[in-house]
Amino acid sequence: MTRHRGTFKPEMTEPYEISRSRVENFIKCPACFWMDRVKGIKLPETPQFLLNSATDRLLKKDFDKYRKIQKPHPLMIRHGLGHLVPYGHEDFEKWTQSTQLGLRTTFEPANFIFGGGLDDVWHDPVKDELFVVDYKSTAGGKSEDETKLKPISLDGPWKGGLKRQMDMYQWILRQNGFKVNPTGYFLYVNGDQHFQNGMLVEDLDMAMMNFDVQLISYDADDSWVPDTLMQIKACLHQAKCPEHADTGFGAREDEPCHNNRLLQGAKDNGLI
């Protein structure tokens, strides 16, 4: 079957493939989403951080060891989750493939194939219940008393998108018939840039960096997902570009859309 992806073509009857990240783009700025998906205008995007991808892969290796033997990882036991095991579903590896929308569902009201790639799923084999897990890495500041790294929270700028990501993955799993617990987990590794005395191994061409590990629970709410997908359908069929977002950008998410400011600056200076 012909795949309908990339630039939206209203004449095509095949379901349009839309990723979790594109949904987030729509939420952040409908105008930028419309320019990209409807007109094919490739706007500047945040570059991928390969170090973050590396920590994701290493964390997956940690849990894959216990996935094979269907036992809880010691970290899970330390956090009172010894009743869970890394999920060993036959399609798990497929679900992690974000570029292929490995975890996906068909949303017929909008004629969409909607999906993404998750990091991990933990399973309660007694209740046959799933818990979505998202790996995150950062390098934070010091605590107020400057004796340790500052604890990570899900509050503050940019964290809304992380929560919505969890909401969406839970919703997709539920559409595939799985029983999903509303509680999800963010597994953060926080690089210590303050309390290490350097990182180079003196007699080898190697470097070592220590990470604090923090497991944060989140009570997800996926009730907004279907309505948002229908709003995206309407946006894709609009003849005119929507308004750019007035907020949601900048360090505190209180600035207007960066792309709109760039375009407006170019117009004001007679460049376009």
- What's the pLDDT score for residue 164? 98
Other CB atoms within 10 Å distance of the CB of residue 28: 17
pLDDT average per 10 residues of sequence, the chain (272 residues)? 92 97 96 96 79 94 98 98 98 95 97 98 98 96 91 91 97 98 98 94 95 97 98 97 93 89 84 78
Contact 95, 172 (CB under 8 A): no
Crossing angle between the packed helical segments 20-28 and 225-236, to the nearest 10 degrees:
80
Query: Which ranges of 176-246 does DSSP label H, i.e. alpha helix?
Result: 225-236
CATH architecture of 16-268: Alpha-Beta Complex (3.90)
Q: From CA 202, how far away is CA 204, in angstroms rounded? A: 6
Alpha-carbon distances of 153 from 64, 138, 140, 224, 227, rounded to whole Å? 26, 12, 11, 23, 28
Residue 181 main-chain phi, psi, to 5 deg: -70, 140
- pLDDT (0 to 100) of residue 48: 74
**What is the token pair recorded at 115?**
């999906």
pLDDT of residue 127: 98
* Residue 166: predicted pLDDT: 98
Instruction: Supply the pTM of this predicted model.
Output: 0.94
